[in-house]
């Protein structure tokens, strides 16, 4: 078991002799506080999902000056060069000035569009105008002669995409994206649920609303002419935004409060709405803020938006939909019958827990080719010096290690090595622990796929289309995914990458009342499959850990 790291001596050290500057703010060091705590003293929130135990690696910071004054690298930091430290594990041990900065994250790649769906859409927004009066449904809410706008907001756990849409023209007027500012409370939904529950002051909602308000003001000169906002996001992100208690989403049976309301017959849909005034957004005060319905459990409003984008409600052929992330959502079916499951696969494919894992920022290794003679060629994001490995790079590495038979089926190196350096400077590596973690993440996804196909009574190659959604789905090399057994070995033309289908579905919901209402009805008929209680789950999981094709 790990605990937050404490200095052995409880005596104050270096009283007023050392200083710590973080993001250009400075504090004098007069106590046994980690750099994490010192940053908090500067009112700078450093991300954490592990309660400062050195496990999640989210508190990574860059030391600009004074690394020689710091405590030695801990066991949790062995893979780091002295330029980078885990803030929760590091103390100022010797007298001197230490300067550090947060990792630059502004360059994070954000998928802000997906499958194109608007060209044939019949315009039927819920907001319309009669003479100068603006209505939502049959309710007058404002008066204007200017254009009518709406917003589509995709709240991802990591990134957020906002679209401003002219409701009368059905045209996208502007798009903005930003990293979810709730990151300080951890990178995954369970960490956010714990933070929100323990802190109990709706801080995550307030931080997010402030960020979204600034984005709205920068996106639109006439924000008071925004009359409807459609919200998508996984169940936790959606409910946090609306200020609902999310505790129940983190506990078995993993349900949103809106699901309990439907079960008790108090509501007919898990969709949720409020007014801009009550949500403190700087738009028309009577504007409607509408959260798309969730499908059930962790299969949230982001997935239901995707169903609008792929038009599952009209589909006769059986399709599969998969959005791989910390939680992977899968749907199989057509307009007559559909089933779903969410697999808590963990953050490894996003770099979490991987020695050199990182998001797709500058320097992240995104493509890898291993030659028979052992030579390795890598491609990094924006061709910057290699700093780590992002999700698509991890799949590439596993695919290449499998293809060249440098690992066996259980993920052990064939040669007598424990790790493989990827760059010429021998700085970035992948080791057997990483491969083991990735194989378990893969296995969780594969077990979910196997069980859902079995439940539906269909073989992998019988489906018509296999949709891959989200940023991970967009960048994955399908051949590598098939080779390592993450994706089924079906004809390649059946795979369709649909990017950020959530934002496209939210746009449809904003522009078509009919489609939105059809979605509300359709999702109530999607049956959730409980993976954990399936008697074959364990066998599928064990099988899924192996690096070989699934058919």
Measured from the CB of residue 5, what is the shortest distance to ligand FES in angstroms? 9
Of the listed pieces 57-65, 126-134, 158-166, 404-412, which binds ligand FES according to CB under 6 A? 57-65
The closest of 209, 111, 115, 121 to 165, measured between CA atoms, is: 121
Of the listed pieces 12-20, 44-52, 126-134, 157-165, which binds ligand FES according to CB under 6 A? 44-52
Of the listed pieces 46-54, 109-117, 497-505, 531-539, which binds ligand FES according to CB under 6 A? 46-54
For the chain, the farthest-separated pair of C-alpha atoms sits apart, in whole angstroms, at 78
150 sits near ligand FES (criterion: CB under 6 A): no
d(CA 273, CA 258): 11
70 sits near ligand FES (criterion: CB under 6 A): no
* Residue number, 186 or 411, with CB nearest to ligand FES: 186
63 sits near ligand FES (criterion: CB under 6 A): no
Token pair of 17, please?
């002799």
* Residue number, 47 or 333, with CB nearest to ligand FES: 47
Cα 282 off chain centre by: 26
Of the listed pieces 8-16, 56-64, 201-209, 355-363, which binds ligand FES according to CB under 6 A? 56-64
57 sits near ligand FES (criterion: CB under 6 A): yes
369 sits near ligand FES (criterion: CB under 6 A): no
Exposure letters 398-425 (e unless 16+ CB within 10 A, then b): bbbbbeeebbeeebebeeeeeebebbee
d(CA 302, CA 329): 10
Interface residue with ligand FES among 18, 29, 35, 58 (CB under 6 A) is 58
The closest of 428, 436, 390 to 412, measured between CA atoms, is: 436
Token pair of 163, please?
């679209």
Only one residue has tokens 């790790």, namely 419
How many residues of this chain bind ligand FES (CB under 6 A)? 11
33 sits near ligand FES (criterion: CB under 6 A): no
Interface residue with ligand FES among 52, 270, 303, 507 (CB under 6 A) is 52
59 sits near ligand FES (criterion: CB under 6 A): yes
Measured from the CB of residue 37, what is the shortest distance to ligand FES in angstroms? 11
Measured from the CB of residue 323, what is the shortest distance to ligand FES in angstroms? 26
Per-residue string for binding with ligand FES, 86-115, x by CB under 6 A? x-x---------------------------
- Binding to ligand FES, residues 178-207 (CB under 6 A): none
CA-to-CA separations, 459 to 317, 453, 454, 478, in angstroms, rounded: 14, 6, 8, 19
Measured from the CB of residue 74, what is the shortest distance to ligand FES in angstroms? 10
55 sits near ligand FES (criterion: CB under 6 A): yes
d(CA 44, CA 84): 18
Token pair of 217, please?
């003001």
* Residue number, 48 or 270, with CB nearest to ligand FES: 48
**Cβ atoms of 94 and 69 closer than 8 Å:** yes
CA-to-CA separations, 374 to 370, 383, 436, in angstroms, rounded: 6, 22, 22
- HEC per residue, 18-37: EEEEECCEEEEECCCCCHHH
Contacts of 10 (CB under 8 A, 6+ apart): 32
d(CA 165, CA 173): 5
50 sits near ligand FES (criterion: CB under 6 A): yes
Residues engaged in binding ligand FES (CB under 6 A): 48, 50, 52, 54-59, 86, 88
């Amino acid at each position: 078991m790990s605990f937050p790291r404490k200095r052995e001596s409880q005596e104050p050290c270096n009283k007023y002799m050392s200083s710590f500057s973080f993001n250009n703010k400075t504090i004098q060091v007069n106590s046994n506080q980690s750099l994490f705590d010192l940053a908090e003293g500067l009112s700078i929130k450093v991300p954490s999902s592990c309660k400062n135990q050195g496990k999640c690696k989210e508190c990574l910071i860059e030391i600009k000056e004074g690394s020689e004054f710091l405590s030695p690298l801990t066991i949790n930091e062995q893979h780091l060069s002295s330029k980078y430290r885990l803030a929760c594990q590091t103390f100022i041990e010797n007298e001197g000035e230490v300067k550090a900065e947060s990792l630059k994250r502004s360059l994070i790649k954000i998928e802000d569009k997906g499958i194109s769906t608007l060209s044939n859409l019949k315009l039927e927004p819920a907001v319309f105008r009669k003479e100068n009066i603006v209505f939502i449904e049959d309710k007058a809410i404002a008066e204007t002669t200017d254009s009518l706008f709406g917003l589509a907001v995709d709240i991802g756990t990591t990134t957020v995409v906002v679209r401003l849409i002219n409701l009368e023209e059905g045209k996208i007027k502007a798009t903005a994206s930003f990293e979810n500012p709730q990151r300080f409370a951890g990178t995954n939904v369970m960490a956010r649920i714990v933070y929100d529950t323990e802190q109990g002051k709706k801080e995550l909602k307030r931080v997010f609303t402030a960020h979204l308000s600034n984005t709205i003001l920068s996106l639109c000169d006439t924000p008071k002419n925004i009359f409807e906002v459609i919200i998508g996001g996984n169940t936790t992100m959606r409910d946090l935004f609306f200020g609902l208690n999310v505790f129940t989403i983190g506990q078995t049976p993993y349900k949103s409060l809106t699901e309990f309301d439907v079960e008790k017959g108090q509501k007919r849909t898990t969709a949720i709405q409020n007014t801009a005034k009550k949500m403190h957004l700087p738009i028309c005060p009577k504007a409607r803020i509408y959260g798309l319905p969730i499908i059930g459990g962790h299969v949230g409003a982001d997935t239901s938006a995707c169903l609008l984008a792929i038009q599952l409600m009209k589909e006769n052929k059986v399709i599969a939909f998969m959005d791989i992330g910390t939680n992977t959502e899968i749907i199989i079916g057509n307009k007559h019958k559909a089933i779903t499951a969410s697999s808590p696969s963990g953050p490894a494919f996003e770099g979490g827990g991987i020695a050199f894992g990182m998001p797709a920022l500058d320097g992240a290794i995104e493509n890898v080719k291993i030659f028979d003679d052992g030579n390795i060629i890598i491609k990094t994001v924006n061709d910057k010096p290699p700093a780590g490995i992002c999700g698509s790079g991890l799949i590439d590495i596993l695919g290449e290690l499998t293809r060249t038979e440098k690992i066996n089926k259980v993920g052990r190196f064939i040669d007598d090595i424990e790790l493989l350096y990827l760059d010429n400077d021998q700085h970035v590596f992948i080791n057997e622990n990483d491969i083991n973690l990735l194989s378990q993440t893969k296995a969780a996804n594969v077990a979910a796929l196997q069980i859902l196909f079995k439940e539906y009574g269909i073989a992998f190659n019988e489906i018509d289309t296999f949709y891959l959604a989200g940023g991970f789905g967009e960048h994955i090399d399908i051949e590598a995914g098939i080779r390592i057994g993450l994706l089924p070995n079906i004809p390649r033309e059946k795979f369709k990458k649909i990017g950020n289908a959530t934002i496209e579905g939210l746009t449809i919901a904003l522009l078509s009342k009919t489609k939105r209402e059809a979605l509300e009805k359709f999702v109530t008929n999607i049956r959730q499959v409980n993976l954990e209680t399936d008697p074959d789950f364990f066998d599928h999981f064990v099988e899924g850990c192996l690096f070989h094709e699934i058919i």
